[in-house]
Amino acid sequence: MSDAIQGAFHTGDYRNLFKELGYSTLEINSKLEQSWNELFYGDADVRIYYPLGDDKGYLLDTGNLDVRSEGMSYGMMMAVQMNKKEEFDRLWNYAKTFMQHKEGRYKHYFAWHCKPDGTRISQGPAPDGEEFFAMALIFASKRWGDGPEPFDYSEQAKTILRACVHQGENGEGDPMWDPATKLIKFIPESPFSDPSYHLPHFYDLFALHADEQDRPFWREAAEASRAYLQTACHPVTGLSPEYANYDGTPAVPQPHGDFRHFFSDAYRVAANIGLDYEWFRMDPWQVEQSNRIQAFFRDIDVSDYRRYTIDGKPFEEPSLHPIGLLATNAMASLAADGPDAAHFVHLFWNTPLRTGVRRYYDNCLYFFTLLALSGNYRIY
């Protein structure tokens, strides 16, 4: 493989798509810093981060008024990418203190949502939190070095990853990855997956930093996830379901809803594929896939985004998170080489952060896209 087609993991070079399209370094850096300040310290109708006491903080799901392992781990990833150690440590201390189980079937996993004061609402975990916690902690260790417990970041990450693979081997609990297929589960007890949880670019890095005995597993998991995404994404529209079986087919409706369609969770798939391509460039299919999903949305106004069947039929139901969907469509430009890539980058640049009740999920995806398209979503 020549340097010309290697990803940033090999070259250390991260594309700045904003700069490629004519925005100045000053404009780009200003937009990034301003967005961070708005999300973490801005006005009441835009911020999503809140300090708690002297040494903790949390990201609030403003639509549900709870604190989620998803958002906490996202906030940590934002903080380590922005070199904001105080906010990172506050978020991690909250998650470690209130959310991480110390015993039982979920030992070392994180309760998926809590009240802002740390009281658990549900005990069960959601694996997208664990993988983001582990990756953010590994990056923190590389960027800032390990400190005293619980800020011994690399050891904390290994503990999480060990549980994800081995939980249940002694009879209690379940692993977060299906041992047979090496695919991440929707929850540890489920016999199906969530395509938006698949982060092969994280697993390739886990294969360098996890316990040595588990490194082959993570290499296999990365390969399995890249193959899985090809089965979960529709070959014409590029759309994927929110939940899918291990063969990629949409999962049957669940007691808590019908997740066979392209809706909120599924938005993240395009962004994850774009970042995997930027970091590792292992799969040429990711270029075609990114072109497909951008072509599907090219002539749909953001205000008219809806729920869709994966073959592209719209429902009357509007998107709950249209800014988040725009952001992930734009992040697909990291892999796309079609005529729509520049369009989505410009459209994203000219779209502000979302305000109001539903802002949390949109603005998490928005900030990750801002990092990625500016060349600042990096491997440490």
pLDDT in tens, 118-159: 999 999 999 999 999 999 999 999 999 999 999 999 999 999
**What CATH number does domain 55-176 carry, 2.60.40.10, 3.40.50.720, 3.40.50.300, 1.50.10.10?**
1.50.10.10
Distance CA 277, CA 275 (A): 5
Q: Where are the domains of the chain?
A: 1-42+215-380, 55-176
> Per residue in 190-237, pLDDT tens?
999 999 999 999 999 999 999 999 999 999 999 999 999 999 999 999
1-42+215-380, CATH topology level: Glycosyltransferase (1.50.10)
pTM greater than 0.85 (yes/no): yes
And the tokens for 3?
């340097």
- Assess whether the region 1-42+215-380 and the region 55-176 belong to the same CATH fold: yes
Determine whether 256 is exposed, middle or buried from the number of CB atoms within 10 Å of its CB (0-12, 13-18, 19+).
exposed
Alpha-carbon distance of 297 to 294, in angstroms, equals 5
- For the stretch 296-329, pLDDT in tens is 999 999 999 999 999 999 999 999 999 999 999 9
CA dist., res. 367 & res. 380, Å (int): 18
Q: How many CB atoms lie within 10 A of CB 165?
A: 20
21-38: string of b/e by CB count within 10 Å (b at 16+)? eebeeeebeeebeebbeb
For residue range 96-119, what is the model confidence (pLDDT) as tens digits?
999 999 999 999 999 999 999 999
Catalytic residue numbers read 70, 265
The H or E element containing residue 155 is helix 153-166
**pLDDT above 70: residue 4:** no
Tokens, residue 112: 């998926």
